[in-house]
Chain A
Amino acid sequence: MSAAVVEELYGRYKRAALATGATLLLDEDPAPLAKAAAGLLADSRAALAGADGAVAAPLEACVRASAELHALLARAVADGSSIGAADADRVRASHSDLRREVWKVIPCEYVPCSGVHRHDHRHER
């Protein structure tokens, strides 16, 4: 299993997490995102089951972060008013762990191609 799987799952996670924040802030219906997060969690678990080497740690982190995200969204579906800052902070913590692990195998994820740094896009991976 290659780092491309990590990149694909993390990309999905990132967009889902951004949208989760937006959904809660704008009081949108969380049900579609909860379904997407459930799918992400299932796919992350499946990827982890077949993983080894360097990608195992980021995939484990992806499973944990996806589970936290799904739990937050499931709670929002059940009763959004019950969500507090501590709930969001748990998702933030798991996202932080995920990001740290992902960046060990995928550099340059956030940075537009305009910085002074010498890019390593890992085209060879």
Chain B
Amino acid sequence: MADYSIWIVEYARVVEYPVGAVLYGRWNAGHLVLPYCYAVVKGEGHLAVVDTGFNYAEFGKVLADTYGVSDWRGADVVLGRIGIDPAEVDTMVLTHNHFDHAGGVEFFPNAHVYIQEREVSNYLWAHGLPARLQWLTTAVDPDLMLWLVGRMKQNKLTLLKDETEILPGVRAIPALDTHTAGSQYVTVENGRDGNWLLAGDNCYVYESFTGANDDGVFVPIGLAFGSMERCMLTMEEMWQYVDGDVTRIVPFHEQRLWETFPSFQFDDTLHMAELSLAAGEPSRVEAAKAEARGTR
């Protein structure tokens, strides 16, 4: 069985985000803190990221400012905190083409990229639509597709069509017509501590699974370019994969990650959570705590 370390790094946040945009139908439920995170998976001779964050420059800056995103830090900073140089990352899985997940691809110059083919082919379909339907490409930018052309020419791109084992025990699972046309999530079968599921935006917060009133009735995500039915059925598939243990599902916008797992909050208020440690891998949380004790 494979043995991986898994960390979730927070690289920015929205301090006041409408709950109704996170959980479908909860229009008058106020606001929450929405962290922006991605995952680092290390083991079996590989170093992988699931999503990339975004670059707070040009496109990313305009969107971040418009959304009210604050406290942004680049991959060099948030990965540097766990002793990782972004240039060492050899594998990049993009759960979907939205700026806060796929807008930081250039931070990882040596990574082989995995994205669902459907996330790409959907733009051929969209081109044939009348302008009045352009909302369907609202949240995406052409830059990633053009950047991927360069990656393809360097033989560092794989377009996925089906469930695919990317690394030993690490699989990309298509979640088509959900949050986006070609969304996917990632599963990790860890010999040491069981199954993990890195959700991307196939759920934003645990409450999608635990229910709005903690009644166990699933609540779909607040934004879907595909269908709510597909979102719900994908959530069921995810829930089945972790045998109903919702803490094994890792949403990338869930602030309760920091209390669910060993974590550390840095001086700039951003967090890092340590989900799993491979044999011989030192704890980054303990190291950060020790360093903080030494400097405070």
**Hey, which bits of chain A sit against chain B, CB under 8 A?**
8, 11-12, 14-26, 28, 33, 36, 83-85, 88-89, 91-92, 95-96, 99-100, 103, 107-108, 110-112, 114-117
Contacts and interface: CB of A to CB of B under 8 A. Distances in A.
Interface string B80-97: 000000000000000000
A25 B145 contact: yes
A99 B144 CA distance: 14
Contacts of B146: 17, 20-21, 88-89, 91-92, 95
A48 to B, nearest CB: 20
B14 interface: yes
A74 B123 CA distance: 19
A92 B122 CA distance: 20
Contact of B126 (A15, A91, A100, A115): A15
B223 interface: yes
Contacts of B151: 85
Contacts of B143: 92, 95-96
Interface stretch (B2-10, B62-70, B186-194): B62-70
Q: Is the interface of A mostly helix, strand, loop or mixed?
A: helix
A21 B102 CA distance: 15
Contacts of B157: 25
B127 A115 contact: no
Contacts of B147: 88, 92
A83 B120 contact: no
Contact of B153 (A8, A21, A85, A116): A85
A94 B99 CA distance: 19
A108 B126 contact: no
B58 interface: yes
B260 to A, nearest CB: 25
A20 B131 CA distance: 17
Contacts of B59: 96, 99, 110
B35 interface: no
Interface of B, helix, strand, loop or mixed by DSSP: helix
Interface of B: 14, 16-18, 20-21, 31, 58-59, 62-63, 66-68, 99, 117, 120-124, 126-127, 129, 131, 134, 137-154, 157, 159, 222-223
Contacts of B67: 111, 115-117
A110 B123 contact: no
B120 A26 contact: yes
A90 B127 CA distance: 21
Contact of B145 (A12, A18, A99, A110): A18
Contact of A117 (B68, B99, B139, B145): B68
Contacts of B58: 96, 99-100
Given A15-B127, A116-B31, A25 B134 contact: no
6 interchain residue pairs of minimum CB distance: A21-B145, A85-B150, A17-B142, A114-B21, A19-B127, A18-B123
B137 A25 contact: no
Which of A12, A18, A115 has the largest count of B CB atoms less than 10 A from its CB?
Answer: A18
A111 B14 CA distance: 14
18 contacts: A14-B134, A15-B123, A17-B146, A19-B124, A19-B126, A21-B123, A83-B149, A89-B146, A92-B143, A92-B146, A96-B143, A100-B58, A110-B99, A114-B21, A114-B222, A115-B67, A116-B16, A117-B66
A12 B159 CA distance: 26
A18 B142 contact: yes
Contact of B148 (A25, A36, A84): A25
A92 B66 CA distance: 22
Contacts of B153: 83-85, 88
A89 B137 CA distance: 22
Nearest to A81: B153
Contacts of A114: 18, 20-21, 222-223
